[in-house]
Amino acid sequence: MLKKQVNAEFSGMTVRELLAKGWLLPRKFIHFLRINKNITFNGKYRNMNEKVHAGEVVVMKFEGQEFRTQTSNYLIDDGYKIDVLYENDDLLVVNKPAGIKSHPNQPLEKGTLMNYVAAYLKDKDAQPYMVHRLDMQTSGAMIIAKNPVVVPILDLLISQGIIKREYLAKVSGHLPKSKGKIDFAIGKDPTDKRKRKIDGPQAKSALTYYEVLEFDDKTSLVALQLRTGRTHQLRVHLQGMGTPIIGDPLYNHDDNEQMLLHGAKQRLVIPFTNEHLVIEAPLPQYFSSN
User: Residue 70: which pLDDT band, with cuts at 50, 70 and 90?
Assistant: low
d(CA 115, CA 99): 15
- Using the predicted structure, report yes or no on whether residue 69 has a pLDDT greater than 70: no
Cβ-based neighbours of 5, under 8 Å, separated by 6 or more: 55, 56, 57, 58
User: Residue 229: which pLDDT band, with cuts at 50, 70 and 90?
Assistant: confident
User: Residue 63: which pLDDT band, with cuts at 50, 70 and 90?
Assistant: confident
Q: What is the CATH architecture assignment of 2-60? A: Roll (3.10)
- Using the predicted structure, report yes or no on whether residue 256 has a pLDDT greater than 80: no
pLDDT in tens, 94-140: 999 999 999 998 888 999 999 999 999 998 889 999 999 999 999 99
* 70 within 8 A of 129, measured Cβ to Cβ: no
- Using the predicted structure, report yes or no on whether residue 205 has a pLDDT greater than 80: yes
Q: Which of 39, 40, 41, 38 is nearest to 55 (CA)?
A: 41
Sheet strands (E) in 33-121: 39-41, 44-45, 57-60, 84-87, 91-96
User: Residue 78: which pLDDT band, with cuts at 50, 70 and 90?
Assistant: very high
pLDDT in tens, 174-184: 999 999 999 99
Is 135 one of the catalytic residues? yes
Catalytic hit among 77, 83, 123, 135: 135
pLDDT in tens, 14-24: 999 999 999 99
Pick the CATH number of 164-259 from 3.40.50.2020, 3.30.70.260, 3.40.50.300, 3.30.2350.10: 3.30.2350.10
Domains 84-160 and 164-259 share a fold: yes
The domain ranges of the chain are: 2-60, 84-160, 164-259
* 154 within 8 A of 143, measured Cβ to Cβ: yes
The helix or strand, by DSSP H or E, that contains position 210, with its residue range, turns out to be strand 208-215
CATH of domain 84-160: 3.30.2350.10
